[in-house]
Amino acid sequence: MSITISTATAVAKQLAEKEAIKMATQYFKDQVIGRWSEYRANRFFDALLDEIRKEKDVRFESADLNDMLRAVSNSDKKTTALFDAYRRVALSASKDIGPMIIGMLTANIVLEDREATADEELIFQGAETLNDHDFLGLTSWLARHQSDKHDFEQNGMIIEFGSMEISTDRVSPSTTAPKIHYDMPDLADMGIFLLKLKNLGLLSEKIARREDPRMLGGTHYHIVVSKACMQLERLAARAISATI
């Protein structure tokens, strides 16, 4: 009899554990996955529709969501772009800025009824990979360099062909001792977002050495910011301003 009672107790315990796991799983789906998936989707659709309204403000001024989606999904290219965008939103590390960037960029693609360019694919990858903190770091970092006009030459910032080079080796005019570098400065020390962007191919590093490395500032280290990265930053800045 005691064995039967013990067995029944064990079975009841297992059933209770399974039910608890089932309830926890459902709660996780509804309150975590469902909640934040819907939140990201709303950010994406809001940015998508706002961008469409800006481009087609007269025609779509009073249109509802269904009317606007029908208008921008009447071809295979458009529906493919929308599907790819929504997939990226679902995987986005960012809750706000990333989905909004994806929405703004997707709107331009579907309105022009075309496929994404190579640069736009890179921008999508950046929007999917960076989190909101990364985007804030990127916009403040680029704004800091772009606004520092009086120190333009010293910092080694060059804007050419849509790309920007920013020196990571700042030598003070008062420095008298030779400064010799043997290793490239660590991007992660300046911001983990820079390392992420490098891994995506949105920026790269460049070393320029003089013949005599013992000369002051003989080795210059540069971060080369691509045109796609600059566009990503501009879209991020727009998204940030829209959330304030």
Please state, in angstroms and rounded to a whole number, the distance separating the CA atoms of residues 85 and 121.
11
Please state, in angstroms and rounded to a whole number, the distance separating the CA atoms of residues 8 and 4.
6
Q: Are 124 and 112 in contact (CB under 8 A)?
A: no
Please state, in angstroms and rounded to a whole number, the distance separating the CA atoms of residues 196 and 127.
11
Please state, in angstroms and rounded to a whole number, the distance separating the CA atoms of residues 228 and 207.
21
Query: Mean pLDDT over residues 181-190, rounded?
Result: 65
Which pLDDT belongs to residue 172?
40
Query: Mean pLDDT over residues 172-179, rounded?
Result: 38
Q: Are 236 and 97 in contact (CB under 8 A)?
A: yes
pLDDT at 90 over 50: yes
pLDDT at 14 over 70: no
**3-class DSSP state of 163:** strand
Which pLDDT belongs to residue 215?
57
Which pLDDT belongs to residue 57?
61
Query: Mean pLDDT over residues 177-183, rounded?
Result: 43
- Domain extent listing, the chain: 7-130, 135-169+177-232
Which pLDDT belongs to residue 205?
82
Q: Per-residue pLDDT tens for 39-75?
A: 898 999 899 988 888 877 645 555 555 666 676 667 8
- Assign 188 a pLDDT band (cuts: 50, 70, 90): confident
Please state, in angstroms and rounded to a whole number, the distance separating the CA atoms of residues 80 and 32.
28
pTM of the model: 0.74
How much of the chain, in percent, has pLDDT values that exceed 70?
58
Which pLDDT belongs to residue 155?
45
**3-class DSSP state of 224:** strand
- How confident is the prediction for the chain on average, in pLDDT? 75
Which among 77, 210, 43, 195 has a CA at the least distance from the CA of 126? Answer: 195
Residues in Cβ contact with 242 at an 8 Å cutoff, skipping those fewer than 6 apart? 47, 50, 100
Residue 116's beta-bridge partner residues? none
Q: Per-residue pLDDT tens for 105-164?
A: 999 998 888 999 999 999 999 999 999 999 999 999 988 877 554 444 444 444 444 566
